[in-house]
Amino acid sequence: MLQGPVALVSGHGNRCLAASGRIDLAMTTETCAQGRAPEVLALDPELLLAWFDANVRDLPWRRPECTPWGVLASEVMLQQTPVARVEPVWREWMARWPRPSALAAASQAEVVRAWGKLGYPRRALRLHAAATAIAEKHGDVVPADVDTLLALPGIGAYTARAVAAFAYGRRCPVVDTNVRRVVARAVQGAGDAGPPATNRDLADVQALLPAEENRAARYSAALMELGQVVCTARSPRCADCPVVDRCAWHRAGRPAYQGPTRPTQKFAGTDRQVRGLLLDVLRGSSGPVERPALDAVWADAGQRDRCLDSLLVDGLIEQTDDGRFALPGEG
DNA sequence: AAACCGTGGCA
DNA sequence: TTGCCAAGGTT
């Protein structure tokens, strides 16, 4: 087991303690906030934390030198986007904009272009807006309080708690799709999680958290990590699972998921694809482009115009006085 | 609540 | 090849 300041969320090290203003007390004996129902024990903190210590991936936003701003940026980039695609972009962003105020000083065009092809580019504008709010209203310091984080653009129930827990070592339920799946299986014995229900999901995970604050934060990271690398959606690697013997789903013979199936989102032919193609033209251009350059990316003029308009409404593109199109702020 | 919002890898 | 999936948020 790790000891002392190292025994924090995925090795955040001294920053967590310093930033959260806490004294590094010795690890307390194992305690659980709620009762000791057998289902709760399935995700026993002792087992999960030992597994996490031995298997944690060395991701850059988990390193001791990573700031809360780095954690926040990583969490926004990771929304619906795989780690492998985020990592190089995150490194560029941190080198270029090491503090919220640095990002705030950049133009929206720079930010959208630097976002590259991570997808859902509105996240880039929201992160830029969040950085501006942090710089102007919070002294360039990422808030540690969940409710304050929730008030920032692009920061929802998951991201706010992820930042509080992973950047500041706070004890709060961090519920993403991985955690929902792990709890559904290990605790509830279902093959997968049902439709999201934020308040209930938060309460379910809250009940699992160890009492001690930094231990709870590390537990949250462990729960997510387990879902990402072992208790995966398609082919769970139960042989590598630290709680396989306690898992309700495994003990029940891994029954198939019974609940409602989530309708799969289309992409080909949708406005999302067309918007992506249009924006890609502007990302690849150093300045405003003529209308014909955009017309070339999609044959259906009606859909094209609708998408162009929605991009304007979203503030992802702007129209210059002479009728050309550009990323916001570079017209 | 449900639909919408990008992109690419993988089985 | 096609469908599923990936650290969600907003409306």
| Cα–Cα dist A318/A329, whole Å | 8
Nearest nt to the CA of A178 via C1' is C7
A214-252 burial string, b = 16+ CB within 10 Å, else e?
A: bbbbbbbbbbbbbbbebbeeeebeeeebbbbebbbbbee
Q: What is the pLDDT of residue A165?
A: 98
**3-state SS assignment for residue A26:** coil
pLDDT at A25: 24
Residue A262: its pLDDT value, please? 80
Cα(A58)–Cα(A75) distance, integer angstroms = 16
Which nucleotide's C1' is closest to A77 (Cα)? Answer: C7
Q: Which residue's alpha carbon is at the shortest distance from the C1' of B11?
A: A234
Q: What is the pLDDT of residue A2?
A: 27
Predicted local distance difference test score (pLDDT) of residue A67? 98
Token pair 């969040």 in the structure block, residue: A130
For the CA of A278 and the C1' of B8, the distance in angstroms is 18
Which residue, counting CA atoms, is nearest to the C1' of nucleotide B8?
A85
* CA gap A153, A159 in Å, rounded: 11
Give CA–CA dist A254/A35, Å, rounded: 26
Distance A226 CA to C1 C1' (A): 31
CA nearest to nucleotide C10 C1': residue = A154
pLDDT of residue A231: 98
- The pLDDT score that the predictor gives to residue A18 is 28
Instruction: List pLDDT tens digits, range A101-125.
Output: 999 999 999 999 999 999 999 999 9
Q: Which residues of chain A have pLDDT under 50?
A: 1-36, 39
Q: Radius of gyration (Cα) for chain A, nearest Å?
A: 22
User: How far from A201 is each of A81, A158, A204, A231, A233, CA to CA, in Å?
Assistant: 21, 11, 5, 18, 18
What CA–CA distances, in Å, run from A130 to A33, A69, A153?
A: 33, 11, 5
Active-site residue (options: A75, A110, A212, A225): A75
Of all nucleotides in the shown strands, which has a C1' nearest the CA of A177?
C7
B chain positions with any atom within 7 Å of a protein CB: 1-8, 11
> What residues contact residue A176 under an 8 Å CB cut-off, 6+ apart?
A158, A162, A224, A227
Query: Using CB atoms within 10 A of its CB, is residue A124 exposed (0-12), middle (13-18) or buried (19+)?
Result: buried
Sign of the C-alpha dihedral computed for residues A256, A35, A11 and A131 taken in this order: positive
Closest listed residue to residue A192, CA positions, set A265, A280, A258: A258
A30 counts as catalytic: no
Looking at residue A264, what is its pLDDT?
A: 86
Q: Which residues pair with A289 in a beta bridge?
A: A325
Spatial contact of A129 and A100, defined as CB atoms under 8 Å apart: no
Nearest to A212 by CA among A27, A61, A58: A27
In contact, A183 and A176? CB cutoff 8 Å: no
Beta carbon of A151 within 7 Å of strand C? no
pLDDT of res. A14: 31
